Amino acid sequence: MASNDSDGKGRKEPVRPRIGITTYLEPTVWGVWEREAALLPRVYLDAVTAAGGVPLLLPPVGTDPTVLELLDGLVIAGGCDVDPGSYDAQPHPETLDTRPGRDEHEAVLIKAALDLDLPLLAICRGLQMLNVTLGGTLQQHLPDVVAHDEHRPSPAVFGQTQVKVEPDSLTGRLFGEQTTVHCYHHQALGVVAPALKVTARAGDGTVEAAEVDGREFALGVQWHPEENPEDLRLFTALVAEGKKRRASR
């Protein structure tokens, strides 16, 4: 049964699902300080909270997969390019600003989450890490393949991409046959890992969503759902799965 906490007035409130979110280390400036810090855009926190969960940050240091036993769901967040060395490729000239330590950290968490069948949502880079962790590869610079920049129109500007969704899938149950999404990426899935089922593509063929076969809720999307507060379907579904998991303990 789910545990309960007091609200301070003697009443018992159900514990909200605890959703871990990966973060990244970046040189950061705040106040008089200029130091490396664990960083995550607030939109992730707001999306999890609005969906009914409690966000918990997971920095890429002191990696311990057993921490997932305390969680009800996991988000692998977006960010910088995945190191091509993690899938035995040479770097493309446009592959910049990689973080191999973060890659290793997230690979450990992804494997552990799948072993536990922990509800998992992988976002943008997160989908790429999910694919690489399971044995797939990446297209390192998507404009070389699709001959346009619509997936990342310009620095700090999100694109709008219409995706076609496979109906017989978790993605299809959430979004129907098609949806329009916020995107910002120049890399994408290349060879899809055998354990992944592609469930959505853009009109140019780019993989936009994939699910892990044999898992209750393990979904990756190439777009950025946290950037659209009017559409919380992915986060609501993740938190709902987390609630079911917590209730079954």
Nearest CA among 172, 156, 246 for reference residue 209: 172
- Residues in a beta bridge with 179: 163
Nearest 5°: the CA angle 18, 20, 24 is 155
The answer to whether residue 226 is catalytic is: yes
Q: Would you say 210 and 192 are in contact if contact means Cβ atoms under 8 Å apart?
A: yes
- CA 180 – CA 31 distance, rounded (Å): 38
Q: Which among 124, 151, 185, 227 is annotated as catalytic?
A: 124
Distance CA 52, CA 50 (A): 5
CB 38 within 8 A of CB 23: yes
> Which of the residues 105, 185, 186, 224 is marked catalytic?
224
Output DSSP code: residue 35.
Answer: E
> Looking at 106, 208, 211, 226, which residue is catalytic?
226
What positions carry a catalytic annotation? 124, 224, 226
